[in-house]
A and B are shown apart, each in its own frame.
Chain A
Amino acid sequence: MADLTSNFVGIKSPNPFWLASAPPTDKKYNVERAFEAGWGGVVWKTLGEAGPPVVNVNGPRYGAIWGADRRLAGLNNIELITDRDLEINLQEMKEVKQNWPDRALVASLMVPCEEEPWKRILDRVLETGCDGVELNFGCPHGMSERGMGAAVGQVPEYIQMVVEWCKKHSNLPVITKLTPNITDVRYPARAAKNGGTDAVSLINTINSIVSIDLDQMAPIPTIDGKGTHGGYCGPAVKPIALNMVGEIARDKETAGLPISGIGGITTWRDAAEYIALGCGNVQVCTAAMTYGFKIVQEMIEGLSNYMDEKGYKSIEDFRGMAVPNVTDWQYLNLNYVTKAKINQDLCISCGRCHIACEDTSHQAITNMVDGVRKFEVIDEECVGCNLCVNVCPVDNCITMEEMTAGSDPRTQKPIDREYANWTTHPNNPMAAVEPAE
């Protein structure tokens, strides 16, 4: 059995699956249920300053987009940080940590951008016995208008400054949670690193209007006729989050900085992908909010099974293995030629590959062969783009096959097995004589 235990910046947990700071971690009741179900750790719902807590709207706070059969694909929310009293939260955190000493408990924090409030809150959370703090620089709505959350996360200098305060006033590991609502995620990551953060976690939610109510003519969720942008999460954001994680993992300045991966993680496979891109652990919110806490059991079983199959004994064995293979477009091998191939035994003749290629791509799939409805790839036309693979409803029915000999029927060029990229391509006006990198 693979060893799933995790040690993330000194914070130990029986598995790398944490619940992200959000409604599932807003109180003792939920968190204890999560631990009973098997979650390795939680980042408590973000705490604010002492005093009267923030208030949430009393109308709807979520919007969503769905795939077939109303499967939740993306969730959008306009919730703020915890609306419960700080003292109650701190008391409950302390109790939970006492009851569940083997699980990770991290305090998420968001206070005004001044040194004193940060020092105060850090002192308070220390009392709970928590294992670390996460700085919430990500919340894209409600708090950012008050100079917190994403408002800080969008200014690298502020990030560095706050992280420095936190390192100065606390010995707890500091995880800096980044907002995706910026142009280049490497800048806030570098700033956090320069401030001395122990790790970054990403992504927080993405600015979004999930849809417009066409009767009320207002964004959804609609509160008394008005709506506002919210934060987007769930399966739909995973590709965006993965790219950001990859950017940080392969940036020379931040390479090696521990990353807690967040965004759309729904299955063991999603988690494994984040780990392959360098994440030391993962955090989950929407999947738990959609299906309940039990999903972690599938994640644990699935990851463990995968690792056994591959012979990985621990998370560290495969962590970051995909990072060296994330490169820039210009370094992709232009001599690598593939052709789509349709498995006629699996084909159900829906014609989608044909019409996709015919209408919008390269006219490389037949719909009729000798007067019979039949879908075959025309190698002379196929550019190998794999659009057809992605629109085919049958898994593995169309595959991309590499050409290793002969010549490409489309270009008539002989297959060259030597690596050659754009940097040396004759069509590139800036071509170097020797391939770069």
Chain B
Amino acid sequence: MATSNASIDIKAGRLSPDQYSKNFEDIHAPLTRHEAIVEADRCYFCYDAPCMTACPTSIDIPMFIREIATGNPNGSAKTIFEQNIMGGMCARVCPTETLCEEVCVRETAEGKPVKIGLLQRYATDHYMADIGSQPFERAASTGKKIAIVGAGPAGLSCAHRSAMHGHDVTVFEAREKAGGLNEFGIAAYKSTDDFAAAEVDFITSIGGIEIKYGTALGKDVLLEDLIETYDAVFIGAGLPYVNDLSIDGDDADNCIDAVKYIAELRQSDDLSKLPVGRDVVVIGGGMTAIDIATQIKLLGAENVTICYRRSADAMGASAYEQEVAQTNGVTIRHWLQPKALHVDGNMVNAIELEYTSGTNGSLSGTGETITLKADQVFKAIGQTPDDTPFTKTGIELVKGRIGVDENRKTSHAKVWAGGDCVAGGEDLTVASVEDGKIAAEHIHKTLMG
């Protein structure tokens, strides 16, 4: 295929102003009071409820739903926050179809689970609108000081639980804003109306949490020093890097890191300024691939194709997430891996992909290829850790991620870690919140004896 830069079509402002706001409104409209009550009535108040077991933070789901049904939405929210202080964001971003709702007995019974996520959002939204500040009181001051690295879900969860136990918390955050990927990564239509920032205020309203912005571990502050100065350290630094395609042209101007682009999108106050290709190819198979593809489509790209090197089942994104992309007009193609980028100057204009085949994990190219025109290529093939800040302290790492035990304790006596930066995690917001909570409980136990 002969393509030249003259034909590269990247434009901002492909849509009319109201199309932007329509495309980026809530993916699931919040339940009205009536809808919430009708839905809450569907819950059977199961014993040893499977949904509760499936929730990484073990929210008492039958109880919070019953509280909605009995006209006590604020009490319901408290039940949620007791287990998960980020219950509001989790209600928006959890892939419930593979967590609580997957195992709801009404899924078993009639293929229609109770809408746990939307009910959770109903209760937490109600609380935050009605009461605003978080519901817990701090225990008497212990005089202990805890340092937390990263103000993402893991760090904030650990900070809140630690503050609750009476410890004084200092959070070191590299960016100028807290929230981690809630603020910079989650798809815009999942977290509307600046919810991530509102939730940070909500969580920190407990008091005893100081966030030091623009303070990066390894640069502005050293782990060795934190260990020295604080009674305990929790690391929730996430995964700062993304994988490269490892083919020539990878560094072209329009071969873009998906996570970085999403961060720009999330921080943008005018979506019509974002550059959008006409033909867009996304490489990857996880949530990030789905999110960039869907969002670039919603920004007005004409043809968006996700290319994934394995089968639909093997994709990191759930069947439901794939469906979201597809119903928004994204094409998903399987068994294709990138082979070469057609680059002219510093611009990609097409991507050549090789067909693959494979069973039981082994994958090989068939030699056959196709070439897709591409005004933009997005890389969404996984994020990677930055282990440099830790190496000096000798903390045990597993493939660059931090090794932890069931208490989220690292090999260092004063250091705990959780969220995306630890090995063996699920890379979900809710799992990161749970990590922070477990670590805080264990730190508390360790410090208080």
- A: residues with CB less than 8 A from B are 68-70, 348-352, 354-355, 367, 373, 393-394
B41 in contact with A69 (CB, 8 Å): yes
B106: contacting residue among A68, A69, A348, A352, CB under 8 A: A348
Assembled-state Cα–Cα distance A69/B42 (Å): 8
- A349: chain B residues at CB < 8 Å are 46, 50, 105, 108
Q: Is the CB of A393 within 8 A of B44?
A: yes
**Interchain CB contact under 8 A, A352 and B48:** no
A350 touches B41 (CB 8 A): no
In the complex, what residues of A have CB within 8 A of residue B48's CB?
A: 351, 354, 367, 373
**Given A68-B41, A69-B38, A69-B41, A348 contacting B109 (CB threshold 8 A):** yes
Can you pick out 15 interface pairs between chain A and chain B where the beta carbons lie within 8 Å of each other?
A: A68-B41, A68-B42, A69-B38, A69-B41, A348-B108, A348-B109, A349-B50, A349-B108, A350-B44, A350-B46, A351-B47, A352-B44, A352-B46, A373-B48, A373-B50
Q: Which of A69, A70, A348, A355 is within 8 Å of B47, CB to CB?
A: A355
Task: Kindly list chain A residues whose C-beta atoms are within 8 Å of the C-beta of B38.
Answer: 69
Q: Within 8 Å of chain A (Cβ to Cβ): is B423?
A: no
Cα A354 to Cα B46 with chains together (Å): 10
B49 near A: Cβ within 8 Å?
Answer: yes
* Distance in angstroms between the alpha carbons of A373 and B106 in the assembled complex: 16
Contact with A along B97-125 (1 / 0, CB 8 A): 00000000110110000000000000000
Asked whether B41 lies within 8 Å of A348 as measured between CB atoms, the reply is no
The 3 closest A-B pairs by CB, nearest first: A351-B47, A355-B47, A68-B41
B45: interface (CB < 8 Å):
yes
Output the least CB separation between A347 and chain B (Å). Answer: 9
| Chain B residues closer than 8 Å to A394, beta-carbon distance | 109
Q: How far is the CA of A348 from the CA of B105 in the complex (A)?
A: 6
Q: A349 — nearest CB in chain B belongs to which residue?
A: B105
Q: Output the residue of B42, B47, B50, B108 with the most chain A CB within 10 A.
A: B47
Q: Select from chain A the residue with minimum beta-carbon distance to B48.
A: A351
A-B contact count (CB 8 A): 35
Contact B41 A352 (CB under 8 A): no
Chain A proximity mask over B15-45: 1 for CB below 8 Å, otherwise 0? 0000000000000000000000110011011
Compute how far the CA of A355 lies from the CA of B47 in the bound complex, rounded to whole angstroms: 6
Complex alpha-carbon distance, A282 and B103, angstroms:
46
> How far apart sit A209 and B106, CA to CA, in the bound complex (Å)?
35
Residue pair A352, B47 in contact (C-beta under 8 Å): yes
Q: Which residues of B contact A (CB under 8 A)?
A: 37-38, 41-42, 44-50, 105-106, 108-109
Assess the A354–B47 pair: CB atoms within 8 A.
yes
Known: A69-B41, A348-B105. 16 other contacts (CB 8 A): A68-B41, A69-B38, A70-B37, A348-B106, A349-B105, A349-B108, A350-B44, A350-B46, A350-B47, A351-B49, A352-B44, A352-B47, A367-B47, A367-B48, A373-B48, A393-B109
Complex: A350 Cα to B42 Cα, angstroms: 12
B46 touches A351 (CB 8 A): yes
B142 to chain A, nearest CB (A): 39
Q: How far is the CA of A350 from the CA of B43 in the complex (A)?
A: 10
Query: B106: which A residues are within 8 A, CB to CB?
Result: 348
- The interface residues of chain B lying within 8 Å CB-to-CB of A348 are 105-106, 108-109
Residue of A nearest to B53 (CB): A373
Assembly CA distance A351 to B46 (angstroms) = 6
Contacts of A351 in B (CB 8 A): 46-49
Q: How far is the CB of A391 from chain B (nearest CB, A)?
A: 9
- Nearest residue (CB) in B for A397 is B109
The closest CB in chain B to the CB of A351 belongs to B47
Closest residue of chain A to B108 (Cβ to Cβ) is A348
Specify which chain B residues have a CB less than 8 angstroms from the CB of A373 in the assembled complex.
Answer: 48, 50
Chain A residues whose C-beta falls within 8 Å of the C-beta of B105 in the assembled complex: 348-350
Contacts of A70 in B (CB 8 A): 37
Closest to B103 in A: A349
**Shortest distance in angstroms between B54's beta carbon and chain A's nearest beta carbon?**
12
Taking CB as reference atom, which chain B residue is nearest A353? B47
A175 to B106, CA, bound (A): 49
For B44, the chain A residues whose CB sits under 8 A away are 350, 352, 393
Tell me the smallest distance from the CB of B6 to a CB of chain A, in Å: 62
Chain B residue with minimal CB distance to A367?
Answer: B48
| A-side contacts of B37, CB under 8 Å | 70
Which residues of chain A have C-beta atoms less than 8 A from B109's C-beta? 348, 393-394
Q: Which residues of B contact A352 (CB under 8 A)?
A: 44-47
CB-nearest residue of chain A to B50: A349
A372 to chain B, nearest CB (A): 12
CA distance A355 to B46 in the complex (A): 9
CA distance A100 to B44 in the complex (A): 49
* B112 vs chain A, min Cβ distance (A): 12
Closest Cβ–Cβ distance, residue B109 to chain A (whole Å): 4
Chain A contacts of B45 at CB under 8 A? Answer: 352
Between A69, A351, A367, the greatest number of chain B beta carbons within 10 A of the residue's beta carbon is seen for A351
By a CB distance below 8 angstroms, the chain A residues around B50 are 349, 373
Most buried by B among A354, A367, A393: A393
Q: Distance (Å) between the CB of A395 and the closest chain B CB?
A: 11
User: Measured between alpha carbons, how far is A373 from B49 in the docked complex, in Å?
Assistant: 10
In the complex, chain A residues whose CB is within 8 Å of the CB of B108: 348-349
Residue of A nearest to B34 (CB): A70
In the complex, what residues of A have CB within 8 A of residue B41's CB? 68-69
In whole angstroms, how far apart are the Cα atoms of A393 and B41 in the complex? Answer: 13
Complex CA distance for A131 and B105, rounded to whole angstroms: 55
Residues of A within 8 A of B42 (CB): 68
- Highest count of chain B CB atoms <10 Å: which of A68, A70, A350, A393: A350
Chain B residues whose C-beta falls within 8 Å of the C-beta of A350 in the assembled complex: 44, 46-47, 105
Please, how many angstroms separate the alpha-carbon atoms of A354 and B49 in the complex? 12
CA distance A351 to B52 in the complex (A): 13
How far, in whole Å, are A70 and B109 apart by their CA atoms in the complex? 22
Kindly state the separation between the CA atoms of A367 and B53 in the bound complex, as whole angstroms: 14
Residue in B closest to A354 when the chains form the complex, CB atoms: B47
**A364 nearest CB across to chain B (Å):** 15
Distance between A158 CB and nearest chain B CB, rounded to angstroms: 45
Q: How far is the CA of A292 from the CA of B105 in the complex (A)?
A: 35
Contacts of B46 in A (CB 8 A): 349-352
Instruction: For the complex formed, measure the closest distance between the CB of A363 and the CB atoms of chain B, giving whole angstroms.
Output: 14
B387: min CB distance to chain A, Å: 39
Alpha-carbon distance A394/B109, docked complex (angstroms): 8
| Cα A77 to Cα B41 with chains together (Å) | 26
A368 nearest CB neighbor, chain B only: B48
Closest Cβ neighbor of B38 among chain A residues: A69
Residues from chain A with Cβ under 8 Å of B49 in the complex: 351
- For the complex, give the distance between the alpha carbons of A245 and B44 in Å: 34
When chains A and B are docked, how far (Å) is the Cα of A204 from the Cα of B109?
Answer: 40
